[in-house]
Amino acid sequence: MEGMCCGVAETETAKPVEPSSQSARRRRMEIHQLKFPASDAAFAPPQERRRRKRHKLEKWDVPTGRPPTSSTLDESNLPGKNGPGNERDAESTKSSVSAPPSSSVPKFGVTSVCGRRKDMEDAVSIHPSFCGATNSESLRDLHFYGVFDGHGCSHVAVKCKDRMHEIVKDELGNIGEENESWEEMMKKSFSRMDEEVTQCTNAKGISSSSAASQCLCNLRIPKCDAVGSTAVVAVVSPDKIIVSNCGDSRAVLCRNGKAVPLSVDHKPDRPDELERIEKAGGRVIYWDGARVLGVLAMSRSIGDNYLKPYVVAEPEVTVIDRTPEDDCLILASDGLWDVLQNGTACGVARMCLRSSKPPPPSPAPGNQDHETVTGDDYAKESSDMACFQASHLLTKLALARQSTDNISVVVVDLRKT
């Protein structure tokens, strides 16, 4: 009886559950039938979700599925436009421009890489129309380009980058029309720059410098006077090129396809430099190459107080007239020149400048459209890109030839349109 009661109880409790589950399932089916047609009831929700996703992709119209941004869709970042072509190139170009654009400013391209070195000690300074708006037309069209290759640390090179163009601007008030005036002015500028570097160097390290936060001299030694930098500076005017060099960075002019050196490296084993060092009481010791006192592999630099008076900051100045045959000017640190000859570098730069597409013909009168690009506008837009490609290709070539130093290259387009 007890088993029968249990069995009856079990069957009685099981019977109400079954119809309730069937009725619940029936109600759910009725709800689905109200929302969607019966034939598509099972597939309608997934199709709607897929349709929404496809609409999202079509709206963005970007292969990666990300919303469009100025860096991905802006025409100025496309090759052949005014921008450099990608975000990395754009950053390197923006970091070098520091003056408002002008129709008379030569186009230029800059590439500066750490290379196979652990630390980056090069610095590049470019200041078109660096004298600003002045009453003198000759000063208004002066453009400053500089490459500084630091050694021991980067703070002297960074100091030169921040201050050299301002010092040259201050000294320009005393310049005359003769080449000797340019030479004296540049020598005074380099001397002032060397004095400022000496003053900001004390027993505790760097006291006032924009590079103080990145300088590691205070962690290495109690005194950071064993730091210096080369300096090659070019001031370009509408009719002249003035190059001042102190160290083993170099400036080369490409004229009619031929390399014209505008500076000579200051190496300790150069006959005149060797004679000057020995007259000052110093010695040139060959230790992994010719070095002043067996330490520094150059005979002139800014800074390096511990090697004075053997190592001086007096530059050699070259003033040359511009001609219609000038193609470009190349300024670079020794990371490039250690593995590339002057002629090779000029050939590569000239090839990049000439390989840019020729300007399209001007539209016929009466058929001009507001989006039509004239020949002059096309040349202005593509010149910057061509200069950047030249500097970038030179840097890649130096790396391919196993350059072990920092590499900084500036290419200035001197072609007159």
Residues 38-69 pLDDT 10s: 444 333 444 444 444 333 323 223 233 333 22
The confidence score (pLDDT) of residue 254 equals: 97
| Residue keyed to tokens 């009886």 | 1
Of residues 218 and 346, more confidence is placed in 346
Residue 262 to residue 322: CA distance in whole angstroms:
13
Rg of the chain's alpha carbons, rounded to an integer?
A: 34
Of residues 110 and 213, more confidence is placed in 110
Mean pLDDT, residues 7-26 taken together: 50
Q: What is the mean pLDDT of the chain?
A: 74
Residue 163 to residue 159: CA distance in whole angstroms:
6
The confidence score (pLDDT) of residue 160 equals: 96
The confidence score (pLDDT) of residue 355 equals: 83
354 CB-side CA count, 13 A:
12
What's the angle, vertex CA 367, arms to CA 363 and CA 372, rounded to 5?
55
Report percent pLDDT > 90 for the chain. Answer: 52
The confidence score (pLDDT) of residue 139 equals: 79
The confidence score (pLDDT) of residue 364 equals: 40
Mean pLDDT, residues 349-365 taken together: 65
Query: Does residue 71 carry a pLDDT above 50?
Result: no
If we measure between CA atoms, which residue out of 250, 279, 275, 243 comes closest to residue 265?
A: 250
Q: Are 272 and 288 in contact (CB under 8 A)?
A: no
Q: Are 411 and 236 in contact (CB under 8 A)?
A: no
Mean pLDDT, residues 116-139 taken together: 85
Q: What does 241-290 look like in DSSP terms, one character per residue? A: EEEEEESS-EEEEEETTEEEE------TTSHHHHHHHHHTT--EEESSSE
Q: What is the length of the chain?
A: 417
